[in-house]
Amino acid sequence: MTTTLKSVDAVLVGFGWTGAIMGQQLCDAGLHVVALERGPWRDTATDFATGFAQDELRYMWRHHLFQNVSDDTLTIRNNVNQEALPMRHLGSFLLGTGVGSGGVHWNGQIWRFLPTDFLTKSHNQQRYGKKAVSDYDLTVQDWGVTYEELEPYYDQFDKVCGTSGKAGNLKGEIQPGGNPFEGARANEYPTPPMPQTLGPTLFGKAAAELGRHPFPHPTGNLSEAYVNPLGAQLGACTYCGFCEKFGCGNYSKASPQTTILPYLMQESNFTLKTECEVLRVELTPDRKRATGVTYVNSAGEEFFQPADMVILSAYVLQNVRLLLLSGIGKPYDPKTGEGVVGKNYAYQTMSSVNVFFDDKILNPFIGAGALATVIDDFNGDNFDHSGLGFIGGAYIAGMVTGGRPIEMIYTPQGTPAWGLEWKHAAAKNYLRSFSLSVHGSCMSARGNYLDLDPTYRDIHGRPMLRMTFDFTGNDHKMSDYLTDRAAEVAKAMNPREIKVNRRTGSWSVVPYQTTHNTGGAIMGDNPKNSVVNKYLQTWDVPNVFSMGAGAFPQNAGYNPTGTLAALAYMSADAIKSRYLKAPGPLVRA
């Protein structure tokens, strides 16, 4: 039996970064908002206090803050000729759950995409010809939004987080010490960049000697204490080296908990319900309007929550699945290329280079999620791709997120994985090694998509999401070229030796790579090529909005959170200034 609840102005499905942003924005506009989160409540003092936050086994390897896949996972395969099988254990990506979700256990790497990243198809086609954007069955698109339109909202997110960094382009003027390739910023970062440890410092020197343009990584691990516009207070980072995969016990990492919830949770028109999983969005018989959502709580009780607006603010994979399960938009068919829901799933193409010294102590345990010196010379279209056979690029970061010993001991090329030789290599190199991360783009392609699995079902009896994905020739060529550029910097650091970890073969679910899944609910300028318009409003059901990186038509060579947060703020602005006055499509199809 389903209990029907009192209607609200807006229901949020999922309560991580985009849920918190939309909740705060819509409550400030006077709306009554209910957020439904399938995981538990989480706060700093209770769930990741400094007394026990630095526990590599529990959080990283036993997945204490991650989505528990035992009753709901997804199925995976590399191509349509394979049978998709369940992801039985987390590996390649570490999905979030609970209040704050991935915003609790992210690194805090806050990036803006390049102006040309929003014009992936038209820009590259104009500069390199039609083949550049169609080889390898690429299906890249323009976003339908420009960097200039998004800039105020990137700025808004920076101010909420207190992002630490150095601007490289202020209102068109290139600034020394920042990223000279970035799009123009209206304002400097709210807080100064983090000071760097020895490894990133050596990386920056070597990169500069090669003529590159090193700068400190923009970070949500704060360099100094900060009070944001919502009155939330963050402390200065203590470099404990437990950010990614961990919650910050020190209130130093920007997260929904540290930046928005202290304000939002006190709003009388906001209600949060935890352990409540939304099963589907309910539509009117003509399927043109959502009436609300049906959810089930951890006690097994089912409810219908009527709402004037439904905001899908869960993770990419859940948002796409809910669209498919609810019949919103036409599912994508890779055979015909028709349909849009599930289209252009993309990921991140990662590789690395390890550097080993004899004579330098690097203290890798002094780390932070975004403690790095970076070069952006070979990202996006910051360099001439003529004759290279690929589009896109990567940032290369000399990064120390920490020195957690189960995960982060680097051993030289040819070292066995166990035995005395391994132990000796670990003992010799732990304090004296360093890793360069190559954080590459992933261009969408015809065969990479999301749909519903025909065989496997979750605990509620719903089909699991099926992911069909492999890296394309474009990704491999890009990654090889970029990994070579990273190896050049590594050698210029004058180490004893280096080890190059290329991105080879098919995508595997086993080794951790990154939780940057994108696409499947992509944005665009018309309903034929996209699920949502530039305000993240679904074309087919105008009172349903789909947040997050699902809107990315392909993935750029940066971490996604800055961009998906900016998109959420832009959506909220359009809802407040236009939609509420005249509910209906914000862009005419």
Partner 1 sequence: MSEKNLDRRHFLIGTIAAGVAGVSAGPVHDGELGAPPQTFRGAVPWQEGTADAPPEASGSGYVYFTPAEATFIEAAVGRLIPNDPVGPGGVEANVPFFLDRQLAGPFGRGDHYYLGGPWPRGTPEQGYQGRYNPAQLYRAAIAAIDKYAGANLGAPTFAALAAADQDNTLKGLESGEIALDGGVDAKSFFAMLLQNTKEGYFSDPIYGGNKDMGAWKMIGFPGAHYDYKEWVSRHGEAVPYPTVGLKGRPGWRKARS
Is the Cβ of residue 284 or residue 504 nearer to partner 1 in the bound state? 504
Query: Beta-carbon neighbour count of residue 101 at 10 Å?
Result: 30
CB of 49 to partner 1, least distance (A): 6
Report how far residue 184's alpha carbon sits from residue 186's, in angstroms, rounded to the nearest whole number. Answer: 7
Query: Beta-carbon neighbour count of residue 258 at 10 Å?
Result: 30
Q: Is 28 in the site for partner 1 (CB under 8 A)?
A: no
- Cβ contacts of residue 435 below 8 Å, gap of 6+? 352, 353, 354, 355, 399, 408, 410
Q: Which residues in 150-209 contact partner 1 (CB under 8 A)?
A: 194-198, 201
Site string for partner 1, 345-384 (x = CB under 8 A): ---------------xx-x-xx------------------
Is the Cβ of residue 220 or residue 524 nearer to partner 1 in the bound state? 220
Is the Cβ of residue 169 or residue 238 nearer to partner 1 in the bound state? 238
> Is residue 522 within 8 Å of residue 448, measured between CB atoms?
no
Q: Which residues in 429-458 contact partner 1 (CB under 8 A)?
A: 430-431, 455-456
Report how far residue 355's alpha carbon sits from residue 193's, in angstroms, rounded to the nearest whole number. Answer: 24
Distance of CA 24 to the CA centre of its chain: 21
CB of 358 to partner 1, least distance (A): 13
Residue 275: Cβ-neighbour burial (10 angstroms; 0-12, 13-18, 19+): middle
CB of 63 to partner 1, least distance (A): 5
Q: Is residue 460 among the annotated active site residues?
A: no
Distance of CA 257 to the CA centre of its chain: 18
Q: Is 2 in the site for partner 1 (CB under 8 A)?
A: no
Piece of 42-50, 143-151, 385-393, 471-479 that binds partner 1 (CB under 8 A)? 42-50
Pairing mode of beta strands 226-227, 233-234: antiparallel
Site string for partner 1, 95-124 (x = CB under 8 A): ---x--------------------------
Tell which one of 10, 16, 21, 47 touches partner 1 (CB under 8 A).
47
Is the Cβ of residue 60 or residue 140 nearer to partner 1 in the bound state? 60
Given strand 74-77, what is the order of strands in its sheet?
85-86, 74-77, 463-468, 449-457
Report how far residue 391's alpha carbon sits from residue 386's, in angstroms, rounded to the nearest whole number. Answer: 9
Piece of 52-60, 130-138, 158-166, 528-536 that binds partner 1 (CB under 8 A)? 52-60
Q: Which residues in 491-550 contact partner 1 (CB under 8 A)?
A: 505-510
Q: Is 266 in the site for partner 1 (CB under 8 A)?
A: yes
Q: Is 30 in the site for partner 1 (CB under 8 A)?
A: no
> Is residue 85 within 8 Å of residue 93, measured between CB atoms?
no
Using alpha carbons only, give the angle 348, 351, 354 rounded to the nearest 5 degrees. 150
Piece of 88-96, 378-386, 445-453, 523-531 that binds partner 1 (CB under 8 A)? 88-96
Q: Is 262 in the site for partner 1 (CB under 8 A)?
A: yes
Q: Which residues in 396-425 contact partner 1 (CB under 8 A)?
A: 403, 405-406, 409, 417-420, 422-424
Q: Which residues in 291-330 contact partner 1 (CB under 8 A)?
A: 297-299, 301
Catalytic residue (choose from 123, 213, 217, 516): 516
Instruction: Tell me the β-bridge partners of 297.
Output: 276
- Cβ contacts of residue 17 below 8 Å, gap of 6+? 100, 101, 102, 103, 256, 561, 564, 565, 568
Residues 346, 158, 244, 500: is their CA dihedral positive or negative?
positive
Q: Which residues in 471-490 contact partner 1 (CB under 8 A)?
A: none
Query: Could you tell me the two tokens for 376?
Result: 């952006």
Q: Which residues in 560-579 contact partner 1 (CB under 8 A)?
A: none
CB of 198 to partner 1, least distance (A): 4
CB of 483 to partner 1, least distance (A): 20
Which 3 state secondary structure label does DSSP give 367?
strand
Query: Could you tell me the two tokens for 305?
Result: 């929550």
Tell which one of 7, 9, 28, 86 touches partner 1 (CB under 8 A).
86
Which 3 state secondary structure label does DSSP give 366?
coil
Annotated active-site positions, please? 516
